[in-house]
A and B are shown apart, each in its own frame.
Chain A
Amino acid sequence: DAGVTQSPTHLIKTRGQQVTLRCSPKSGHDTVSWYQQALGQGPQFIFQYYEEEERQRGNFPDRFSGHQFPNYSSELNVNALLLGDSALYLCASSSRGRTLRQPQHFGDGTRLSIL
């Protein structure tokens, strides 16, 4: 039973560039959330996708956008990269169809470095 998978594992970009990160949810899950984890901090919620729509958004600028595909996989896009966007980007999946009180399961993340 495959867990949450993310690609790539590492990425180096320069300021002003654009980046796309990818996520496949755990088997049986239909909801994908994205988090940003800066060094020494806990993960911060970016947004959540369900039924191919953004359902909830955290306090992140419009430079951060996403997409969910019919197979429930998801992409996170960041435009006009800033040095402060350097972080670990985590994808988490869950199932909205089941009971509300269940955990989100995380992938191993994509380490994004901005030069």
Chain B
Amino acid sequence: DQQVKQNSPSLSVQEGRISILNCDYTNSMFDYFLWYKKYPAEGPTFLISISSIKDKNEDGRFTVFLNKSAKHLSLHIVPSQPGDSAVYFCAASAHGGSQGNLIFGKGTKLSVKP
């Protein structure tokens, strides 16, 4: 039973436009959510996170939105750049992040076309 789901395996976006990546979760005990970016032959790189006490967190071109009632979060990238092309993983934790395990989705492959 998947606790974190990324239902879109892939997404293609034109350079300069907005990329929206979605993630759904089932466990109401999750209190911290993260997005990681992964290039081939590299490990996941931390991108942005959000605590369950917030509904939005912004860092430059990246914004994460959390809708607790819908158990849904999304990552917005504006404007999208070709260098953003990578696999994006949504992850969740019931222990604040640093302790215990992160539960990952299967990832969404983003392609940003020039």
Contact = CB atoms under 8 A, between A and B. Distances in A.
Contacts of A95: 98
B95 interface: yes
Given A42-B106, A44-B104, A94 B42 contact: no
B99 A103 contact: no
A100 interface: yes
B44 A43 contact: yes
Given A42-B104, A45-B103, A48-B100, A105 B46 contact: yes
Given A4-B43, A101-B32, A108-B41, A31 B49 contact: no
Contacts, number: 82
Interface of A: 4, 6, 31, 33, 35, 40-45, 48, 50, 55-56, 58, 90, 92, 94-96, 98-109
Contact of B100 (A35, A41, A56, A99): A56
Contact of B101 (A6, A45, A98): A45
Contacts of A41: 106
Given A42-B106, A43-B104, A102 B98 contact: yes
Contact of A106 (B41, B43, B105): B43
Interface of B: 4, 31-32, 34, 36, 41-46, 49, 51, 89, 91, 95-107
Contacts of B46: 103-106
A99 B31 CA distance: 13
A71 B44 CA distance: 24
Given A90-B43, A103-B49, A42 B98 contact: no
B43 A107 contact: yes
A35 B89 CA distance: 14
A25 B102 CA distance: 17
A100 B95 contact: yes
A42 B105 contact: yes
26 contacts: A4-B43, A42-B104, A42-B107, A43-B89, A43-B104, A45-B101, A45-B103, A48-B101, A50-B99, A55-B100, A96-B98, A100-B96, A100-B99, A101-B31, A101-B51, A101-B96, A103-B34, A103-B49, A103-B97, A104-B46, A106-B36, A106-B44, A106-B45, A108-B41, A108-B42, A109-B43
